[in-house]
Structure 1
């Protein structure tokens, strides 16, 4: 299990985020275009190829057909069957970020990604009666000791808005692997070995791998599917737009994350 903490880990985390921003949409394709334009004066043929490649990648990341192709293998785990919940010991809900400025909620609250996961986790908790663990830290707040982290906000939303009690709060983790490692540290000593894991469908493969590596058996409970099982009922819009761009960026992020997992083994 990874036990990185303190300033070195925060430095690596921010560097990782900077690299991801540079290679993922929307900035990644624009960087390719800019590089191609810079090369035109010295290597015009290569410069044109690079610039047009950036344009092609940018268009691909907002086009439903290509985004659906990226999403299909990520979202191939079906929705959980209620009967399978009987074999679990707990429900684990992963965070996906927070909304720092939410004056209508008195300060900050969970963002749309976390809320989608929390809502489904609450539904499963009511169906099964299983205890709930929420997992997720906040890099800036942990570095500056400022305000509640994501897990604390998840607990607040679950208990106040959904009337679902939270038994465990794991608020140290800063990425999916740490979600798994630190959750396992809380659960395994208490005899919890099999968990229902709630996260976005596109994030499920990476999450299952991390939690199984941490020593927990996993029942995947994906939510918030971007795509669908076939072209006729695909949930993506038929034309390029902001929703497709969001789904394409999410899919690209997951594929880069999966590649990083493979390379770090």
Structure 2
């Protein structure tokens, strides 16, 4: 890969993809991006990395379980200092929230409204669609000698995208995502998913990748020019809890999309929904993070 990268993985792929786009598009400004973010010798790389680490620490403090442990700790200190009534009430509240967010009931209460915003896609068949898959993380396994692998969320999104791709005619698969956080692997997430897509039979010439975006807004912004001139429908694939914010970003930039949600986290309420689990706590944290991110976008974009 050279100093400037194409959204596709090779010049041949780029030309094939461009042939399927509007002839009025200028490849030089649609498909070219600077690799400053990935150049370890560049000061921008390190300064941005420090900022992302700081943001990640702040985010983890605000989200469960850290925030709940902080509440319980404060409550314990208050009890020790003689404020037993207030401290006890705060401790009970913290413990109850810790329990609730660790259950499927808590997950469904939090993430259900996000997932219900857009219903599952009924028809997977489209004419000349641009199937846009937003990445959802990758796992760095270099410490055990294994290549970077897509996260479970990324894999589910890609599989849904490929399902739509294979059910449609003359489809193009767009995979968008760079490094979403400070602890993300050095390899851009879109490259990781592209490798899996090709292994699953998607022709390389029908894949376009965007590898510099760090969040949902940049996903939409970096693809805006291409998708505004798309000849076919734009089908957007991401996790159901993330779809509302993703659609909002694309609409904000003037891009009409057809939502194709996947990776559902909510579940029917049963007695088992009251049993706490580590996975439920993670999903609750994901839901709270999504609400905070969407609220931030509404205030700043």
Output the TM-score relative to the length of structure 2.
0.74
2: CA distance, partners of 1:202 / 1:139: 17
1:241 counterpart (262, 272, 277): 277
Tell me how many residue pairs correspond in the alignment: 254
* Correspondence 1:144-163 to 2 at 5 A: 147-163=186-202
| Residues 126, 164 of structure 1: 8 Å contact kept | no
1: CA distance, partners of 2:258 / 2:219: 16
Map of 1:75 onto structure 2: 115
1:119 counterpart (142, 153, 159): 159
| Residues 196, 220 of structure 1: 8 Å contact kept | yes
Over aligned residue pairs, what C-alpha RMSD do you find? Answer: 3.0
1:14 counterpart (53, 58, 62): 53
Displacement, 1:32? 1.1
Q: Give unpaired runs (5+ residues) of structure 2.
A: 1-36, 38-43
2:250 counterpart (194, 211, 214): 211
2:105 counterpart (45, 58, 65): 65
| Residues 134, 237 of structure 2: 8 Å contact kept | yes
Map of 2:93 onto structure 1: 53
Determine which structure has more spread, i.e. the larger CA radius of gyration. Answer: 2
1:94 counterpart (130, 134, 154): 134
Which stretch of the first structure deviates more once superposed, 146-155 or 211-220?
146-155
Which stretch of the first structure deviates more once superposed, 167-176 or 248-257?
248-257
* Correspondence 1:118-137 to 2 at 5 A: 118-129=158-169, 130-137=171-178
| Residues 122, 164 of structure 1: 8 Å contact kept | no
Map of 2:295 onto structure 1: 259
Output the TM-score relative to the length of structure 1.
0.83
Q: Which has the higher contact order (CA 8 A, sep 6+)?
A: 2
* Correspondence 1:222-237 to 2 at 5 A: 222-228=261-267, 231=269, 237=273
1: CA distance, partners of 2:128 / 2:278: 38
How has the CA–CA distance of structure 1 residues 250 and 176 changed in structure 2, closer, same or farther, with 3 Å as cutoff?
A: same
Q: Give unpaired runs (5+ residues) of structure 1.
A: none
How has the CA–CA distance of structure 1 residues 157 and 260 changed in structure 2, closer, same or farther, with 3 Å as cutoff?
A: same
Query: Secondary structure of the residue that 1:91 maps to in structure 2?
Result: strand
Query: Secondary structure of the residue that 1:138 maps to in structure 2?
Result: coil
How has the CA–CA distance of structure 1 residues 124 and 105 changed in structure 2, closer, same or farther, with 3 Å as cutoff?
A: farther
Query: Secondary structure of the residue that 1:169 maps to in structure 2?
Result: strand
Query: Secondary structure of the residue that 1:199 maps to in structure 2?
Result: strand
1: CA distance, partners of 2:167 / 2:232: 20
CA deviations on 1:109-164 (whole Å, 9 max, x unpaired) are: 21111111111111110011320110111157899xx8421111111110123435
Displacement, 1:251? 1.6
